[in-house]
Each structure stands twice: as C-alpha cells, then as structure tokens.
Structure 1
Amino acid sequence: MCGICCSVNFSAEHFSQDLKEDLLYNLKQRGPNSSKQLFKSDVNYQCLFSGHVLHLRGVLTTQPVEDERGNVFLWNGEIFSGIKVEAEENDTQILFNYLSSCKNESEILSLFSEVQGPWSFIYYQASSHYLWFGRDFFGRRSLLWHFSNLGKSFCLSSVGTKTSGLANQWQEVPASGLFRIDLKSTAISRCIILQLYPWKYISRENIIEENVNSLSQISADLPAFVSVVANEAKLYLEKPVVPLNMMLPQAALETHCSNISNVPPTRETLQVFLTDVHIKEVIQQFIDVLSVAVKKRVLCLPRGENLTANEVSKMCDRKANVAILFSGGIDSMVIATLADRHIPLDEPIDLLNVAFIAEEKTMPTSFNKERNKQKNKCEISSEEFSKDDAAADDDSPDKYVSVPDRITGRAGLKELKAVSPSRIWNFVEINVSMEELQKLRRTRICHLIQPLDTVLDDSIGCAVWFASRGIGWLVAQDGVKSYQSSAKVVLTGIGADEQLAGYSRHRVRFQSHGLEGLNKEIMMELGRISSRNLGRDDRVIGDHGKEARFPFLDENVVSFLNSLPIWEKANLTLPRGIGEKLLLRLAAVELGLTASALLPKRAMQFGSRIAKMEKNNEKASDKCGRLQIISLENLSIEKETKL
C-alpha cells in the first residue's frame, strides 16, 4: 500500500515544487514508512512525483524510484502471481526493472497483463516524454485524476482533497485499461489527449470481448479540453479473468430441495446438496482456489523476524499481523476460517466488529470501570434481537449493544473458537457514538469517500473507516480492556455478493427475468465494482496506514466462479439463508461452520446500524449532504459561538 501522486504543469510560471499541504497529509496517511518527492523538468513541462510507502514485503524501497535514464516509477500494488517475486524481494523494484527493459508499448502491455493482484501505478518514460498510468482490472487500488486551468495542469493521486464551495474536481480514473499521455505534444497543443489501451479477452475461437466502459462514457465526465482516444496501434491488455458463463439450462432445473421453498433454512437442508458427487467436487474446487487466494494475502508480509525468544514464548505478547472486517456473516466467517489455515498458530487474528450506537444508556456501577470511561452510547434493543440480548451474559457488553452485527459477530466468534480452539481470536468491539461519527466524518472521512457522494457511500465509507481503524475493546476473562489493532493487512469479503447473487436485487431480477436476467445482473455487478466500491474502500482503509486485501476478487477465484453456470453458484428458488450464495454456504459447511452458514445477507450499513443513526427516510442513491465539506469560515464561527 502506498500513496502515489504526480502533478504535471505546462505553465512554468505557475508551477510549485511542493504539493498542497492537505493533499500531502492525505498521501502520508497511506504510506507512513517513507516519503519522498522528485522533481523532473523539461522545456515544455514540469512533473512533481510524490511517493509514500507502507512497507509490507521485501526491503523497504523508497518511492518514487528512478533509473539511470531518468525514468520514474510510482507503484501502489501487490504482485501475488504472474511475475515471480521472492519473499525477500520488493515488488516495486522488480516491476520497475522489467519496465525499464521494455523496448516498446507492446512489451509494457504484456508486462501488466501478467501481473495478478491489486495495483495502480504512474510511470514516466523520460526519452519519449510519455506518462503511463492505470488501475488493475477490478480497480482494487484507488487512483484519481484532476484537470484544471484549461489544460495548463493536471494531477494523478491515490487520494484527493476537497475544498468547500467548489464543484467536485477529483474523479476516479476508470479501471478500463492503461492510459498514456504525450507530455511534450500536450504542452504544445494545450489539449490533453489520453490514449487508452483497454482490457480485452480473446477466446480460443478468436472472439474479442471488449471492456464495458466505452471511450464516449469515459470522456463524458471530463472537461472539454480533455479527450480519450483509442491508441493508434490498437493494442490492448489481456483480461486476467475468463468471461462469465452465461449458459442456461436446457430444461427446468430440479432442485434437491424443491419441496422446501417455504421451510426455514437448516443445516440439514444444506447437507442434502452434499450428497451429490458433482456438487461436492465443485465445492472442494472452490474451497481450494479461495484458500490459495487467502494464503497469498496473509503470507505476503513480514512477521516475527525481530522477536526475542522470550517474546516468541509468550503468545499473549504476539501482535496480530492480519485483521478481518468481521460481522459474523458467511463471507467473513469463511475468510477467517481459511486465514486460520495459513497464519502461524501462535499469531492472533483480529476480528474487527463495528457498531454504531444512537442512544445513551446508563451503565450499572458494577460494570467494568475501564468500560465506563468510554462514555459508550447504546441503542435500545429491537424486537428482532431482544431474545438474543436476553441470552447475553450479564457481564457482556452485548447486553447493552444490541446491534445485529455485534450479535452475529459474537456467535461467529464461538464458531471459530470451536473450529480452531488453539488460536487467539481478538474480537475487537468497535463502538461509535453519534458525536464521534459526525466529527470524524467532517474532518477526515468525507475527504476520502469523495468523489463518491451518495447516502450509501457515506454509510459504508464511514463504517469501513471506523472498523479498519481497529480502536475498540476486547472482552476477556478478566474483564474488558481497550485495544487497538496493529495489523497492517485488512481482509474484506467484498466480491462474494456480487458474484454469488447475494444481494436482494439479485432475487428481484431473478423473479422478473429468470436466470438470464440474473446472469446479466451479475455481469453488471462485476463491471461496475471498481467505480462503485473498491476505490472508495481502498482510500478509506488506506487512511490508517493499512492495506485492504480482497480474497474473493483474486483473479483465479473470479475465473473459477465465472466458469460455473449460474445454478451451481446460487439457487434463488430457495429461501433466504440458503439460495443466495449457495456455493459459499456449502463450502462453509464443509469447513465445519454451523449457524453462520445459514445467515441471510445483511448489508453492512444495516448490520452495523449506521443507517439508523441520523436520517431514516433517505434512499441509498440520494446525494448525501453530510459529505459536504464545512468551510473554514463556518468552522471558525462555530468555534466562536461555542466559546
């Protein structure tokens, strides 16, 4: 994980060799281990490169990196497959070495076609005056662009800034392929022309599948002096995943459980599917490919090199290197179970569970003293979860926090302890009050969520920011103690719902348009995941100097799921808690999980209760006024009023 930025100016009299303070701060938050700036000047243009590194693998490599020919490289990514990177090597330097040896644009495209893993990059070719940049196929790493002054300058950055009263100027670079700009010709023409090298898939039958975003779609949101054109050589990147299997059954499907559509989901229901030899084989293949994806993401980081023998002998002194955004739902439970297979057994795993608490409730004086210091606010129990609350232990904070994800999270913790009793599972209770939410949204989170701006972006962005920060409480036998996760890697389950028909809209589409409509919905989900989710989540998690990793979006996992017909992934004739994400539920049963395998999908904004914190009558797609920046003048007035 890194914060990367390149500011280009074609008007020397207005160029500053320093980034604006707020942008520099946002970048440093992402890369706390090293910071460096590099200035490159030509007769026609000036470039300021700024790199901020979160060190996770190999030797710490300060960015930007430059070779003897003046080429400059900024890399925010992880190479998990495709190009060999030894454990002691740094992928930034490895990739830059390959880039420097590329003789033409075709070789550059071949190189990035091989890389598997999340990435965004900026690469300056000094001899040709080209600036290359782009994001991986799924857009798992953020990259924004900002064009200003009628073509006199532009900026690329992992994260932007926002100024009150101005229209949103930062936009996400589409994950449509690689872009290249000729800086010298741009300086002369004062017209910014971006050449696109798109993602394409060529089948064995030589059928070409284009990427979703067309040139006109990309250009539509850009200023008039910026245009996106197809590269002159008609070259392209090879898509890293196979196309979605759109096959439909020749006859009506006979479900193993066709007579139980109105019966509540049970483990026995899922067991029926496991009697089918073919289904069982598919499940094992899925577990295997997902397990490898998790393994790559939990082992590509340094651990334990500097521990003394005394520290190693004390398991309680070990710090978690990996954290999981954890609701206790099926996605996070399967990831946690597979992570347990590969992370050293004497290393704890942090389970980050966030709850938003709307109303204050008086704590009993007998409650743990340290807990009382938090000024915790708790929500009144809903009827839906009153029985669960009543069953909570008298000394458990869950008696006072009835948020759905807290309840399922604690139940999930018990399952994980049963599956792996020797592991230390740090269940981190992260409780967020209205006051803290509003303050940190205004001062930090709104800058990270933008350029996205809907109610849904606000809810999920805030929930993920607080969860990944990892500041909360651990419930132990000797009471409750404050805790802050030190894990630099945060695993998240995003991608499971999109591929396995986990959302309610999938069921609606299936009911109205059948399996063909469901296939199209899933194709759309994968096509828009870069602009809808991943850039935002990368910016939000990266703000804590941590790296988001997405096992369900591993290229091999996506290719495997894309290869299956839809009825082997989901069966929406079956009730909630079984039919959606059926393949994942069956995998969970095979992994030894119990109740969590049957939990219906619950969106993070509802499970954490952030959606009920402020306004209940909003639509997810509405523009969110709470994400607007309060001007410095208003803040000064606000402070004076309080005084």
Structure 2
Amino acid sequence: MCGILLNISPNDNLKFFQNEYKEFKENCPDALLNSNNDYTFSNLMKLISARGPNFASLRTLKDHRISLFSSVLSLREPFCKQSVLVEDRYVLQFNGELYNDEIIHNDTQFIVKLLLNTEQNSKGIISVIKNLDGEFAFSIYDLKNKRLYFGRDPIGKRSLCYYLTDANELYVSSVSGSIKGFKNCDAGVIYEYDATNKNSPLTIFNNIFEDFTINDKSDLEFKSLQKHIEELYKVLYNAVRKRVLSIHPTHIENSPIAVLFSGGLDCSVIVALICEVIRNEKKKAIIELLNVGFENPRTGLMPKDTPDRKLAISSSYILQKLYPNVPIKLIEVDVPYDEYLEKRPIVIDLMYPKETEMDLSIAIAFYFASRGKGYIQTGSDKRIEYRRKGIVLFSGLGADELYGGYHKFVNKTPRELVEELTRQINNIHDRNLNRDDKVIANNGVEVRYPFLDEHVIKYSTHDIPINYKINKLILRKLSLEMLHLDGISEEPKRAIQFGSKSAKMTKDGNKNGTDKIK
C-alpha cells in the first residue's frame, strides 16, 4: 500500500452522514475527490490517490465519526485491499513492506494475524508494532474502545504526518501538501488518539524502540577489519536480498528493478548487490539506473554535462562489465529549465513542512529521477526516449550517516564523530525520509533502503569500530574487495543537488541552502 488518510472528529459533524465503503480499481475518480464537504480531506485525497495507482477505497463510519481513504500500489500477492476491517474489531491501514521471516505471502495479512492474537488494548497494539521488521507507516482504529493508533517504523522510512485542530479534530495522512498545521510524525513513536476524550485526546508513546548509539571503540591496528568487511557484506546482502525477493516474481520478471543512481559509491554498491542476488537466486530481472541532470541557467551547464551524469555513465559501464548477464539500463533523465519551473510548485507543496532552498533542490531531483522520463543510449551517441518501467526503486540513503561520508566529518575527533553519527542516524527520519518519501511516492512507486535495514543499522552502529568510519573506509574496502568495484570505490561524496545541478538554478546565486523558499 502507498497512501494513508483518515479524519476523526470528536464533535457532531454533517460530513459523517452515513456508513459506507466504496472501492476504485484505479485512481480515485475526480467526482469523488470533489464531493467531500471537508476541504482538507478532499485535497489530501488527491495526493493520496497519486501514491497508489492500482486501487483506492473510502470507508466512513458514522457512529465513530471517522473517514478513511486508502490507496494501493500492488507489489505482493495475494492482492490485499485497504483499508482492512479486522473481524469488526479493528480497521487497519498499512503502508510499507515487511520482511519478517514468518511472512509467507501478504504482509498486511500478517499484521491482521498478529492483531487477532494479542491483547486487545494499547499494550497489545504496541507489541504488534514492535514485532514488525521493515519500512512502514500505519493506522489502527480500535472499534470497541474508540482509540486510534498511528505511527512509523523506528527509522521512519515511510512518511506520515498529523494535524490536531484546536477543536481536537484529527487528520492523519501520508502527505499533507502545504496545509498549515500538519506535523511530521517522529520515527518509532506510537500516537494514541482517544475519540472519547474531547479535551485532551492525544497520547504519545516514546521509547518504544531503542535509539541507535554509535560504538566508540577504535581498532587502530585494523586487526579486525577483514572480519568486519565480511560481516558487513553479509548483512547488506541479506538486506538487499529480502527487498528484491519480496517483490512478487511476476513483477521482477516483467517489470524492472529501478535504482536512484548518481554513479557514486553508495548506489553502485546497491546495484552490485542486486546483481549478486539475481545471479545467486537464478532470477531474471532488468535493472534501470535512474540518473537525473538539470539544465542550469546560472552555470550554463546542460544535463549531459553535470558531474553525476558523467559519473553515472562511467560507473554503469563498470557494472555492466561485472555483470554481463544482467541487463542494466542507464536512464538519462534530462530536466529542461522550463520543466523545472513548471514542476517546482508541485514539489514545494509535496515536501511541506520542509521549506528551505536545500530541501527543494534535493526533493526536486528525486521527483524527476523517480518519475523516470528520459533517454537510453542505443548506439554511438544515439538516444531514444524511455520511461521507467520499474515500480520498486532502491536508494543508497543511509550510508553517509552510518559510515561517515559527509565532508564535515573529515576533521572530527573520534568522540566528535561518534556524537555526530549518532545524531545523524537518529534524525534521518526528519532530515531526509519524510521529504523524500512524499516526493518519490507521488510518482506511483515505492522506494526501499537497504542501508537503513534495522539489522544493517544495528551491526553498523554497535559493532564496527569508529575509525573504520572515517571517509567511509569500511564501505570503500567492501566495494573493492567483495564487489570488485574498481574505479568506483574511491569516488568522493557529492550531494545530489550539486551532482545533478538542481541547486542555485538562477543567476541569483547568493541564496543559501538554509534560506526559506520565496
């Protein structure tokens, strides 16, 4: 599933005029989107519908004064409609992917089973959420106790936000647009809304999951480096494997796996690991590398001249040579300045409440890359138009936070690096993930983050010595020794907004990244 939206009002309201349930096999029709007399809800339905192009439903429960709108991107079989009525006890909305070993088919049905076999109270709901392994956001409404529970996974890989009005009316949504009052949900926090309490209905359960703390030990003689390289490879491989194999086989064979691809170290490691999984599991799959470049009037550069485009061409060539039996296509997503200006207001709306120049330059790069409308090379300097076919996108986000990839880390002492990396990984939900998921999912795709797998994070934070994380030493060694990415392993870190030239697009180049958008 890809879109969650609900509204609960503690007060009598004419919008709850009946109990009903409506289904739509494709995007929600405009007639319905414009029929709801709640302005906020109607506007959010349009954004939620874009996230899940395969199915949508609207459920209203008059006695509970609740409306739930859900949209679905179909990736697993059997197909599971959302929202889910769980034996007249709960109404469940689930957005994400789970990788628990116990799951045989559909992950939503796995949650249903857990709900039916636990205590029917807040303690039981919390125990269910703690048992989930994956990237997700959720809402669970308890029909008996009139309580709503909602939140995000402990890393915050799926976006979710809420708005509690002055009248204690609640909205919960995967994306808010620029509607004032919405707040991003914190990662790993469970929110409880008591619809029977008209004065103070919202309770926040913190400390459900442990924060990630970076190991402060050093191995100055590098005695255990090789062991850690091999162990890191194992956990990363497993993280990629379960994210590849949980896509239903018909999708893998008939719809490519896409990767947000700058050509740098992190995304190249992910591509190589996907190829390793495909080869070892004897699967057939095409890999689409989505590389974006902008026409930048300030610098005079065209998309083909951007640093990330040049790097992507050379890195994709290396990967194609390493894995000749896996079809790898580099999609060159060119963004003319006129189209940048056209889509700019849409991206600003999607990424709210983020509103800085830096957020825009990153978000708009991901927006165009995930849309995947570009070109592929077919011969000597000849390109043909090509549109991304993969609906699952992989991202290398998280490697810089785990292995010390940012330039500002270079001169820090070990203690300073421990503090900074701990802060970075525990804040990635607010700094990156909410914004990125809102923008990317608007193109009807799902993004997956192997570096942000909980097992990868736990191993990387708890076990790897801090001096292995200076300039991503351990990941560079892994890419060279385990994946043979010669020519890529030493590539320096370059932020997407600078590599794609989506930052400082106009001649008014004195803007700072922290400036608010005007």
Both proteins in one fold, TM over 0.5: yes
**Residues 95 and 158 in structure 2, CA contact (< 8 A), matched pair in contact too:** yes
The residue number in structure 2 matching 1:171 is 183
**What does residue range 168-317 of structure 1 map to in structure 2 within 5 Å?**
168-186=180-198, 191-199=199-207, 237-239=208-210, 243-247=213-217, 253=220, 278-304=224-250
CA offset digits 1:278-322 (Å, max 9, x no partner)? 3112111111110110111111112338x9xxxxxxxxxx65431
Once the two structures are TM-superposed, the CA of residue 176 in structure 1 deviates from its matched residue by 4.3
SS in structure 1 of the partner of residue 511 of structure 2: coil
**What does residue range 7-86 of structure 1 map to in structure 2 within 5 Å?**
7-15=7-15, 18=36, 20-42=41-63, 45-81=64-100, 84-86=102-104
**2:410 aligned with 1:507:** yes
The residue number in structure 2 matching 1:355 is 293
**Residues 2 and 76 in structure 1, CA contact (< 8 A), matched pair in contact too:** yes
Amino acid at match of 2:443: H
Once the two structures are TM-superposed, the CA of residue 69 in structure 1 deviates from its matched residue by 2.2
**Residues 58 and 68 in structure 2, CA contact (< 8 A), matched pair in contact too:** yes
SS in structure 2 of the partner of residue 569 of structure 1: helix
Amino acid at match of 1:113: K
Distance 2:163 2:122 in 1: 25
Distance 1:176 1:340 in 2: 32
The residue number in structure 2 matching 1:634 is none
Aligned pairs, number: 490
Amino acid at match of 1:192: S
Distance 1:428 1:68 in 2: 46
CA offset digits 1:108-148 (Å, max 9, x no partner)? 22221121111110001111111111111111011111122
Once the two structures are TM-superposed, the CA of residue 496 in structure 1 deviates from its matched residue by 0.3
The residue number in structure 2 matching 1:641 is none
**Residues 53 and 444 in structure 2, CA contact (< 8 A), matched pair in contact too:** yes
CA pair 618-581 structure 1, distance change in 2 beyond 3 A: same
SS in structure 1 of the partner of residue 308 of structure 2: helix
SS in structure 1 of the partner of residue 305 of structure 2: coil
Distance 1:405 1:619 in 2: 22
**What does residue range 529-608 of structure 1 map to in structure 2 within 5 Å?**
529-571=428-470, 580-590=471-481, 591-608=483-500
How much identity, in percent, do the aligned residues show? 30
SS in structure 2 of the partner of residue 583 of structure 1: helix
CA offset digits 1:427-450 (Å, max 9, x no partner)? 0000101110111122x2122111
**2:259 aligned with 1:324:** yes
Once the two structures are TM-superposed, the CA of residue 359 in structure 1 deviates from its matched residue by 4.7
Distance 2:97 2:503 in 1: 33
Distance 1:108 1:8 in 2: 19
Distance 1:132 1:319 in 2: 37
The residue number in structure 1 matching 2:31 is none
Distance 2:178 2:225 in 1: 51
**What does residue range 615-630 of structure 1 map to in structure 2 within 5 Å?**
615-625=508-518
**What does residue range 435-514 of structure 1 map to in structure 2 within 5 Å?**
435-442=338-345, 444-477=346-379, 479-508=382-411, 510=412, 514=413
**Residues 345 and 423 in structure 1, CA contact (< 8 A), matched pair in contact too:** no
**2:272 aligned with 1:337:** yes
Distance 2:102 2:128 in 1: 12
Amino acid at match of 2:4: I
SS in structure 2 of the partner of residue 180 of structure 1: strand
Quick check: 123-132 or 66-75, which moved more? 66-75
Once the two structures are TM-superposed, the CA of residue 40 in structure 1 deviates from its matched residue by 1.4
**Residues 452 and 536 in structure 1, CA contact (< 8 A), matched pair in contact too:** yes
The residue number in structure 2 matching 1:269 is none
Select the residue among 131, 139, 149 that pairs with 1:132. Answer: 149
SS in structure 2 of the partner of residue 115 of structure 1: coil
**2:446 aligned with 1:428:** no
CA offset digits 1:314-347 (Å, max 9, x no partner)? xxxx654310010110001100000001235642
Which structure's CA Rg is the greater one? 1
Amino acid at match of 1:616: G
The residue number in structure 1 matching 2:32 is none
SS in structure 1 of the partner of residue 201 of structure 2: strand
**Residues 353 and 406 in structure 1, CA contact (< 8 A), matched pair in contact too:** yes
Amino acid at match of 1:618: K
**Residues 5 and 44 in structure 2, CA contact (< 8 A), matched pair in contact too:** no
Once the two structures are TM-superposed, the CA of residue 536 in structure 1 deviates from its matched residue by 1.0
CA offset digits 1:15-61 (Å, max 9, x no partner)? 3563643311110111111111111123xx50001111111112111
Q: Which runs of 5+ in 1 are unaligned?
A: 200-236, 255-275, 308-317, 361-377, 382-399, 572-579, 626-643
SS in structure 2 of the partner of residue 301 of structure 1: coil
**Residues 9 and 15 in structure 1, CA contact (< 8 A), matched pair in contact too:** no
Distance 2:124 2:87 in 1: 20
Select the residue among 102, 105, 108 that pairs with 1:92. Answer: 108
SS in structure 2 of the partner of residue 174 of structure 1: coil
CA offset digits 1:255-292 (Å, max 9, x no partner)? xxxxxxxxxxxxxxxxxxxxx66311211111111011
The residue number in structure 2 matching 1:211 is none
**Residues 455 and 620 in structure 1, CA contact (< 8 A), matched pair in contact too:** yes
Distance 1:65 1:500 in 2: 40
Distance 2:258 2:301 in 1: 29
SS in structure 2 of the partner of residue 519 of structure 1: helix
Amino acid at match of 1:357: E
CA pair 416-461 structure 1, distance change in 2 beyond 3 A: same
Distance 1:289 1:67 in 2: 35
Amino acid at match of 2:463: L
| TM-score after normalising by structure 2 | 0.90
Once the two structures are TM-superposed, the CA of residue 565 in structure 1 deviates from its matched residue by 4.5
Distance 1:78 1:277 in 2: 38
Once the two structures are TM-superposed, the CA of residue 567 in structure 1 deviates from its matched residue by 3.4
Amino acid at match of 1:284: E
Q: Which runs of 5+ in 2 are unaligned?
A: 18-35
Distance 1:22 1:130 in 2: 25
Amino acid at match of 1:459: S
**2:172 aligned with 1:156:** yes
Amino acid at match of 2:174: S
Once superposed, what is the RMSD of the aligned Cα atoms? 2.1
**Residues 519 and 566 in structure 1, CA contact (< 8 A), matched pair in contact too:** no
SS in structure 2 of the partner of residue 421 of structure 1: coil
The residue number in structure 2 matching 1:405 is 308
**Residues 178 and 350 in structure 2, CA contact (< 8 A), matched pair in contact too:** no
CA pair 550-26 structure 1, distance change in 2 beyond 3 A: same
CA offset digits 1:328-373 (Å, max 9, x no partner)? 100011000000012356421000000001259xxxxxxxxxxxxx
Distance 1:379 1:420 in 2: 36
